Amino acid sequence: MTRGLLQAEDVEVVGAVDRVAAGADIGTLNGLQPAGVAVSEDLPSVLAKVRPQVMVDFTVAAVAITNARVAVAAGVSPVIGTTGISLEQLDELHQLCEARQVGAVVAPNFSLGAILMMHFARQAARYFPRAEIIEMHHEQKLDAPSGTALKTAELMAAEIEAGGAPPAAAEKAAGARGAAYRGLAVHSVRLPGAVAHQEVICGGQGQLLTIRHDTISREAFLPGLLLAVRQVLQLKGVVYGLENLLAL
């Protein structure tokens, strides 16, 4: 992701924070020419020194929300690509952003294809009585189900409930049926070789509809990330979900 930001014509990378790579040049780390930006271990000092407009964070939830507080206090707009941030933390961040008159984007997934997959699944939920979600990620992913799977289930359940019918209860057989979330069965797979994959299978009388998205490279996240970086400066408060920046 950093490589893509370094190569974007309208984005200037002015600072970088990472405990492991501290001291290295961010360009060299990404296989490019030296960028003249040394990686630091200390976020507050970097923000104070280079005064960026936007901070991009792909850490984990506990660290990301702490980093976001520091950024907003410095008048910097955070763009966060991390799952696991609670509604209470989002509300806190929204209030901090409004107080400082800055924007923030928090997105469980920056892949435009994944956003469209969720959009189509939400539409399909109006017309099919049952659906299940299967998501597969690399074995090092900590959370299960993924934030994208939970977001998909939320969108589909909201669509079903808006139509006046509660989601059909997913049958539960211990150890075999994944997790039931708002009436939708969600199955998580963690395997080496996978990146990020999800399919939604909708079932109705005499038919199945499968909506699938496969991320085969992390480059898939770059167009959505750049969209968020470019638009966050126009916001005041938190926008949760990349779909809210798209005309869907």
137 is catalytic: yes
**Catalytic residue, candidates 94, 119, 141, 236:** 141
141 is catalytic: yes
CATH number reported for the structural domain that contains residue 157 in this entry:
3.30.360.10
Model confidence pLDDT, tens digit, residues 127-137: 999 999 999 99
List strand residue ranges (DSSP E) for the chain, in order.
16-17, 39-40, 54-57, 77-80, 103-106, 130-137, 179-181, 184-190, 196-204, 207-215, 237-240
How confident is the model at residue 180, as a pLDDT? 84
Q: Are residues 81 and 135 in the same domain?
A: no
Q: What's the domain range around 19?
A: 2-109+219-245
Q: Are residues 175 and 132 in the same domain?
A: yes
Model confidence pLDDT, tens digit, residues 11-26: 999 999 998 999 999 9
How confident is the model at residue 238, as a pLDDT? 97
Q: Are residues 61 and 38 in the same domain?
A: yes
Q: Are residues 21 and 73 in the same domain?
A: yes
pTM over 0.85: no
Q: Are residues 148 and 87 in the same domain?
A: no
How confident is the model at residue 84, as a pLDDT? 82
**Catalytic residue, candidates 137, 151, 197, 213:** 137
How confident is the model at residue 174, as a pLDDT? 54
Q: Are residues 98 and 148 in the same domain?
A: no
Q: Can you list the residues of the chain whose pLDDT is less than 50?
A: none
The secondary structure of residue 208, as a DSSP letter, is E
Q: Are residues 45 and 81 in the same domain?
A: yes
CATH number reported for the structural domain that contains residue 231 in this entry:
3.40.50.720
Look at the chain and report how many structural domains it folds into. Answer: 2
Nearest CA among 191, 194, 226, 198 for reference residue 212: 198
How confident is the model at residue 178, as a pLDDT? 79
Q: Are residues 10 and 38 in the same domain?
A: yes
